[in-house]
Each structure stands twice: as C-alpha cells, then as structure tokens.
Structure 1
Amino acid sequence: MDRWMPRLAIVLCALDALGRARAASMDPCDQANERGVVSGERVVVGVGYWAGGDVARWGDAHPCGDRATLGAIGVNGVGVVGTTTFVVNSGEMTALRGTRADEDGLYAANASATAMTVVAYTATKRSTPRVVRLETSDPASEGKSGIVSALTLLVTFDEGAVKYLRWHDAGCGNCGGTADARCLPVGEGHHACAASKAGCDGTCSGSACDVALNTTDALRCQLTVTMATSGTDANKEVFVAGGQLERLSKYASSGAYASAAASASAAVTGVTGFIGR
C-alpha cells in the first residue's frame, strides 16, 4: 500500500439526528440519497479529486456512473481520482474539509501533475470541475501557482430531489483581485483566492510568507468547500441555508477559515476511495 494512501476516517454529523426514517446508506452513488430529502435531515455529497486532470479532461465523466472510464485513466498514469464522502445536515451551511495530508499525497502521487481539479457529485448529478491546485507551468495558470483555499457549493433541490450542484464563485475580492498572485483561475473564467506553496511548505521567509502555519490560517493550505442547500424539500418547504452563501463573501479570508475551523457542523473526512486502485 502506498504510504500516502489514507486511513479510513470519517467524522459524520450524528446520523440519528439527521433523519432516522431514511435509509442508512452513506454512499453518494446511492440514488435513494438523491430524493426524499427533508430540511434538517441528512444529505450525502461526494467530492472527487483528480491530480493531473484539468477542467477539460473531466468532460462529462461522473465518479459514480463512469468509474470504469476514470479508472482506466488512472491506470494509464494520468493521475488517480480520489473520492471522499460527506454526510451533512441539509438545513445548515456546512464546511466540507478533507485532510491536507491526503490532498498532498494524492497530488504527489502524479509526478507530472500541473493541476488538481475537483467535482462535487451525488448519484446522478455532478458539478462542473474547479481547479484547486495549480503550477505556473500549467497552460491555464496565468503564470500563477498555489493551493485554492475555499470554494462554495450550492446544492439545489426540487421537492426533496437533487436538481443540480453548482459552484457559487466569490471571486478574489479578499485577496487583491484577479491581478494578484494569490488569485488563481479555477475554470469557466472564474477565480478564487489561494495560498502559496512556499507559505504552506514553510520554505518561505519573512514578508514572503503568506500563511501563518501555527494558527488556523494554516487551513488555507487545503481546500474547504462551504456547502449550502436551496430550493424545496420533500415537504415543499424552502431551504434557507443557500442565502448564507452571499453573506459568506463579506468575510475577510482569514475570518472565513477561522469560522469554518470552529464550526461544530463541519464535516471532516479524509479521501476514502480511489477510482482505478
């Protein structure tokens, strides 16, 4: 077993409190998890990480329905696709975060990778891809490199059934705008704030260090996806958490990460599956 392959470690929001009446499956590829969702009960979302797969390479591939395709890509040396599962309260805005060790290990496993991208998904729905790590050598890098610190995801329901997943792009207002070196292109013309590799590795010095590794600022060295729900639940009640995404954009970067770190509703897990392994 590769030394970077993570242990199975999942910290879940208490399932009993998130809907005893629903099936206990924690598989995002289980279609039963895509329907019948009631506000305050659980919802299961997967995130797929692809080191070496750029935005275009994903195409329409889905981590559930196209495992054979993605597995063949991994076997052929274009980077393993790692997946992680989050079980969260559908009525709350929640921080989804893996471990930095898993993200670093997945990226390092493909020595030729110049980018890492992610998609969020349920059994039959999938978001568009977003770049979360980038090297200056990547054609889409705009001459920048770094680790995207945060993305926001909106999961929209129609009477309790997942309708779509889309990114709510906040831009780079918190890190100096699109011209700043800390602002990375993440796909479809959008940008997001990032931390430098030198800052995260501790190889910088003095004012060149943009990350305080001994504080919650170190969370900028891994991806946090802030997820909220919108639309209507199985009882035709409106999800209200989606409106919080707009308020999130008012935070300074460090404040947002500190809030996510302290949140009792944060769902924290490592990469728990590998397509092609």
Structure 2
Amino acid sequence: MQDIHTAGDWVKHTPTSSTLERFEAFFGAHAFDPHRHDTYAIGRIVAGVHRLNYRGESKLCLPGEVMIVHPDESHGGCAGSDTGFRYRGVYVPPSLVQQIVWGKPLPFLKGGVTRDSRLGVAANALLDAREADPLAEDDALYGFVTTLAQLAGQSTAGKTGHFAAASRAREYIDDNLDRPITLDDLAECAERDRWSLSNDFRLFYGTSPHRYLTLRRLDRVKQLVQAGRSLSEAAVEAGFFDQSHMSRHFKKNFGLSPSRWCSPDVASLHE
C-alpha cells in the first residue's frame, strides 16, 4: 500500500491494475470536506466512530457497519468521538455494477449506512479480494452487487439459467485446477457472457465458480497429502499460490488447519 500521513491521520492505498480502488484510512478529527465521486464509495468501519454527512443527514457509523455512498452524491465526514475512526474502503464504478444488473437502475441504499449482516459479509469479501486472483474479485463483486440490489428492493428473481453453459464451465474448472482461471476463461469456454454465466453457475450448482474452484482444489490437496505429499507441495500442485494461501482457505472451509486435519488423531475420524 502507498502510505499518506497528515498530522496523525493516514491513508494507505493499495496499488492495483484492476478497476477497483481499495484503501484503508484513519482520521482523528476532521476527515474530508463535502465532495462526490462518480463511483460507489463503500466503507467498512474497523474501529472508532465516523460521523457521515450524507443527503442532508448526519449519521454515526459504528464498527461493523457498512457505508454505501451512491455515485455523484455529495458527502463529508469527521470523527464521531475523541478516539477518531479507522475504516477500509473501495470504489466501484457504476459501469461494472451495470454489467451485473443489466439495464436496471443502479441499486440505491436509502440512508447510506447499514448493519445488515448479508451486506457486511459481501462488503468484506469485496474488500478482501486479491487482485492476483481475478476470479475471486469477480465473485465478490457479483455477490456484493446482487446483495445490494436485494436490500435496495430490486428483484433479482426471474433470471433463467443456461445449464449447458454452466456445465461447460464446471468441466473446464475440473480440468484446469492447477492453472489460473478467470471468469473470462469460463465465459469463453461456455459461450456465455461472464455475469450471466456467474448466475447460471450459482443456479445449477448452488455456489459460485470461485468457491467451486477453491473446494475442488482443497479436495486435491487432501488427496495429495494422503498420497504422501507435503502440505507445501500439495498446495502448489493443487493450484494455490502457496501453502499459506491454501491454509487460509482450508481453515475457512473445513474449520481446522490442514496440519491438524493431517494429524493421526484427526485423520482417524476420516477413515
């Protein structure tokens, strides 16, 4: 991240070549004057209290809450307590959102602040997505936009799926676990546009393309470890960046670390 410090305040920007700009910041008192973006401005409070001035209202934003400022809406902010506030943020261009909602009005969250757990999970996924894993970033963007649309009262029902396209994408994933896979790769092999395919996959296989890919890679890790490979070897052979990358996903999906899963006491449970 690129660091910017001003009298105790700081902003860290994540260098990126993607269309999403991510950052993290701390402000002890005054944060920013009224201004506007031509993007969605999404923030997740990490610590402290933020006072957001938005659409004629002043609201306190607490840890765990999500702020969503609509494109071209003026907003300003300052600390809501003496301890300041820290938050993570990401800017999402409306053009990307429009590719997912496909001609519907841009989702608008009234009030701009929510504690809804569904949107919190979706915002965290978007903030945590790694540029080095474009399929994860696309998956997080799709999840965030569709969740925001639902909370804004826009129906996402009625979309018909294309089973043959979803099946081709699934087969492509199964055949290419050890190489990088993007949503564009899947869309090309499925002969479907990327966001329609993302919807197809969820409709027919109950999960996103990225999560399906991750779980198949984890299955491969378990097979390789049982065959005698080390965790580091298994992680790379299964398509993860490294052992650390694999371990994070392993614990998130199975509730325990891969080293513990491989221990004799735990292994006996799987026999």
Which of the pair has the greater relative contact order for Cα pairs under 8 Å at 6+ separation?
1
Larger Rg: 2
Q: Whose helix proportion is higher, 1 or 2?
A: 2
Same fold (TM over 0.5): no
Q: Whose strand proportion is higher, 1 or 2?
A: 1
TM-score by length of 2: 0.25
TM-score by length of 1: 0.25
